[in-house]
Amino acid sequence: MGKATGFLEYQREDARAIAPKERILNFNEFHIPLSEEAQRRQSARCMDCGVPFCQSGMNIKGMTSGCPLNNLIPEWNDLVYTGNWEQAYHRLHKTSNFPEFTSRVCPGLCEKACTCGLNGDAVSTKENEKAIIERAYANGLAGPKPPKVRTGKRIAVVGSGPSGLAVADQLNTRGHHVTVYERADRIGGLLRYGIPNMKLEKHIIDRKLDVMRAEGVEFVVNANVGENIKAKQLMKDYDAVVLACGASNPRDIQAPGRDAKGIYFAVDFLTATTKSLLDSNLTDGKYISAKDKHVVVIGGGDTGNDCVGTCIRHGCKSITQLEMMPKAPDERRESNPWPQWPLVCKTDYGQEEAIAVFGHDPRIYTTTVKEFIKDKKGNLTKIVVVSLESKVDEKTGRRMMVPVEGTEKEMPCELVLIAAGFLGSQKYVTDAFGVALTERTNVKTEEGAFATSIPGVFTAGDMHTGQSLVVKAIRQGRDCAQEIDKYLMGYTNIAR
């Protein structure tokens, strides 16, 4: 513990965010890092707890508490405080393949379990992590380190999201030959096209991919396994195959008028914007534009918030975000004590920008769409929304949100973005490999394992667990790599 009284002497200080009305003029990341001196002070706030909940990754009441990667957080906080940045990077990289990603997009499970946060502000762990990895790149510490010995074993990884990249990185470091297949035109999966530039600029992904290529990982794009690349051929050509294709089936909203023009899934909207931005800085017009439109986003999670922020950057006329559930409390309830994940209301960057531009929070709670109204040409012009209330189903005993008769209202709307989550793996991929599925259409394995029902075929990430977090997908990838290594070699020395 570098400074025993640091948590008493220093207040939490976060990187300064550029003002909403200024940052919406572009799609760039908008946080200005602290100085080295200030960042070291923030690391000094770490208490080096006897029981470091921040790195525990435990499940409490169905929610994760602490880092799923079990990052050695008190150790590298202490090393940052003492100025030993190189050793801090080595301790961070020991458990985390992609701190440049998680320090930007992770919701900070570590901070929510921080002991400092029990009676004050948590340690700024995410920003400390980001400072470590960015300094490592700047000083040549995060460059390529190819394996000195190759095993001769060949693995195909289908999907280049966080779990697929983690599998590839771990197995390549072990000395296996790894090829990653991606159906899109660029590598990155969810990281590339599912997360806007404001949260993760794509040159950050490219920087890491360049390192992985130099270390020997091969990447193949426009490779749609199950269509233009045959699954049987992969199983024949490789010693093992990993399915890491994500949970790619978006949940739909079924209501009269659903066939109206102007209704899109959030993932398609975000993908089109990012691809056009990368291809032409939006000059090609090949994206779903929200400019001068009344927009309604259905869904209150991170993806819905990303849609809000993106629409504002397009120049929408108005933005409304519908949430089925009631507004969460602003502070923890007694029934939700630390170190559980805090079930409190979060106002994210997109909502902050909507408040700044339109003067009010875009969220409407306990509300959903009852009908989509279109004109004679089939274009969406309005929606009918209805309030919801919680009731218990007499047959099943389950609590459900049901419409309240007489609360219907019309809203002008030319663009609807459905951000209601995902329902599992895509059928054409799982059919191509013949793997067994769970009731939720996730790829089925034994509990705590990654081998599918087909010998030599493994799975990891959202395709295995259902929709989850980037940091959990990386955890899945690391654990899957261990199992594959043992399958190929009879033992494993890959670190968990």
| SS3 readout for 303-327 | HHHHHHHHHHHHCCCEEEEECCCCC
Q: How far is CA 91 from CA 87, 169, 339, in A?
A: 6, 17, 24
Check: CB of residue 15 under 8 Å from CB of residue 349. Answer: no
CB 404 within 8 A of CB 290: no
Q: Are residues 447 and 399 in the same domain?
A: no
> Same domain, yes or no, for 19 and 100?
yes
Residues 382, 439 share a domain: no
Q: Is residue 216 part of a domain?
A: yes
The 10 Å Cβ neighbour count of residue 361 is: 15
In a domain, 256, yes or no: no
272 with 239, same domain: the answer is no
CATH number at residue 355: 3.50.50.60
Determine, yes or no, domain membership for 254.
no
> What is the CATH number for 115?
1.10.1060.10
Beta bridge partners of 321: 297, 363
**What pLDDT does 413 receive?**
98
Q: Is 441 part of any domain?
A: yes
pLDDT at residue 396 in the model: 85
Count how many domains the chain has. Answer: 3
149 within domain boundaries: no
**What CA–CA distance (Å, rounded) separates 304 from 351?**
10
Backbone angles phi, psi at 221, to 5 degrees: -100, 170
Which of the listed residues 113, 138, 163 is the one where a domain comes to its end? 138
295 lies in the same domain as 400: yes
Is residue 143 situated within a structural domain? Answer: no
Most distant pair of Cα atoms in the chain: their distance: 71
Q: How many CB atoms lie within 10 A of CB 324?
A: 14
In this structure, the answer to whether residues 12 and 76 fall within a common structural domain is yes
Question: 435 Cβ partners below 8 Å, 6+ apart?
Answer: 243, 443, 444, 452, 453, 454, 457, 459
Where does 97-253 have alpha helices with state H?
A: 99-105, 109-112, 125-138, 162-174, 202-214, 231-237
Residues with Cβ within 8 Å of 213's Cβ and at least 6 positions away in sequence, in order, are: 219
CB 116 within 8 A of CB 47: yes
Same domain, residue pair 192 and 164: yes
Give the residue from 418, 437, 455 where a domain finishes.
418
On the 0-12 / 13-18 / 19+ scale of CB atoms within 10 A, 59 is: exposed
Q: How far apart are CA 260 and CA 250, in angstroms?
A: 18
494 lies in some domain: no
Could you tell me if 245 and 158 are in contact, meaning their C-beta atoms sit under 8 angstroms apart? yes
Q: Print pLDDT tens along the chain (496 aa).
A: 668 899 999 999 999 999 999 999 999 999 999 999 999 999 999 998 989 999 999 999 999 999 999 999 999 999 999 999 999 999 999 999 999 999 999 999 999 999 999 889 999 999 999 999 999 999 999 999 999 999 999 999 999 999 999 999 999 999 999 999 999 999 999 999 999 999 999 999 999 999 999 999 999 999 999 999 999 999 999 999 999 999 989 999 999 999 999 999 999 999 999 999 999 999 999 999 999 999 999 998 999 999 999 999 999 999 999 999 999 999 999 999 999 999 999 999 999 999 999 999 999 999 999 999 999 999 999 999 999 999 998 888 888 999 999 999 999 999 999 999 998 899 999 999 999 999 999 999 999 999 999 999 999 999 999 999 999 999 999 999 999 999 999 999 998 8
26 and 129 both lie in a single domain = yes
Domain endpoint, select from 385, 418, 451: 418
Domain match, 270 and 240 both: no
Which residues does residue 401 pair with via DSSP β-bridges, in sequence order? 390
Residues 267 and 414 reside in one and the same domain: yes
Per-residue CA distances from 176 to 20, 102, 216 (Å): 46, 25, 9
State the pLDDT at residue 1.
64
Residue 184 lies in a domain: yes
Reported as half-sphere exposure (CB side, CA atoms, 13 A), residue 458 has a value of: 32
Q: Are the C-beta atoms of 321 and 385 separated by less than 8 Å?
A: no
Determine the pLDDT at residue 2.
65
Q: What is the pTM of this model?
A: 0.96
Question: Do 405 and 276 lie in a common domain?
Answer: yes
Residue 104: partners with Cβ closer than 8 Å, 6 or more residues away: 29, 130, 199, 200, 204
Query: Domain range for residue 215?
Result: 154-248+423-489
Shared-domain flag, residues 311 and 407: yes
Nearest Cα to 68, choosing from 52, 88, 48, 54?
Answer: 54
